[in-house]
Amino acid sequence: MLAPYLKALDLCYFEVTEAFKGLADEHVWKRPVGGLLSVGELAGHIAYWEAVRFAGESLDGGASRDLSTCKVKSPLLDPRFAYYTTTITETLSEEHLSMTGEQVCHELLRVHQEAMACLKALDPDLSSPAPHWSPKSNYGELLTYVAFHIAYHTGQMYSVRHLLGEETPDN
């Protein structure tokens, strides 16, 4: 039964939208210090992995960095956002840098909705193997992890904003 997992993910995305409220556009892609990611980069990371895991069709059954077969398309779905080590060393595109906080939040929510539509269409047995994740894990475990993953990076968004001197919603 997917419903409880989807409800938890909806709650995660409520918090994500809170993290974007009042975000200054000049801070969307700004890193507070050299080793920390920006709010936009964190949003890209969340979007990338949700799309790969639920709307990707990698031939080897794993999470492929090749997004050509992904059913969801977005500027946030960029292999640069896959891992911290690639994000921190790669240069962002002009397309990314031109996106406002509102646009990034909208894209993140759209990617989530489309990825969840793919998951709902699949309607997997929660105890069945999740092909776009660890080979020994099932969909129930993947969905639990995804909720944690989103919450963790949302907390980082708040920290980035605080480090940039912003006032954030009381979360």
pLDDT in tens, 77-122: 999 999 999 999 999 999 999 999 999 999 999 999 999 999 999 9
Beta bridge partners of 129: 138
Number of domains in the chain: 1
The confidence band for 64, taking pLDDT boundaries of 50, 70 and 90, is low
Whats the size of the chain, residue-wise? 171
pLDDT one-digit tens code per residue, 155-171: 999 999 999 999 998 86
Q: Per-residue confidence at 51, pLDDT binned at 50, 70, 90?
A: very high
Q: Considering the domain boundaries, does residue 31 fall inside one? A: yes
**CATH code of the domain containing 67:** 1.20.120.450
- DSSP H helical ranges for 3-138: 3-20, 39-55, 84-89, 94-97, 101-122
pTM of the model: 0.93
Taking every pair of Cα atoms in the chain, the longest distance, rounded to a whole number of angstroms, is: 45
Q: 30 is in which domain, residue-wise? A: 3-163
**Distance in angstroms (rounded) separating the CA atoms of residues 15 and 171:** 8
Q: Is residue 89 part of a domain?
A: yes
Amino acid at 78: D
Cα–chain center distance at 60: 22
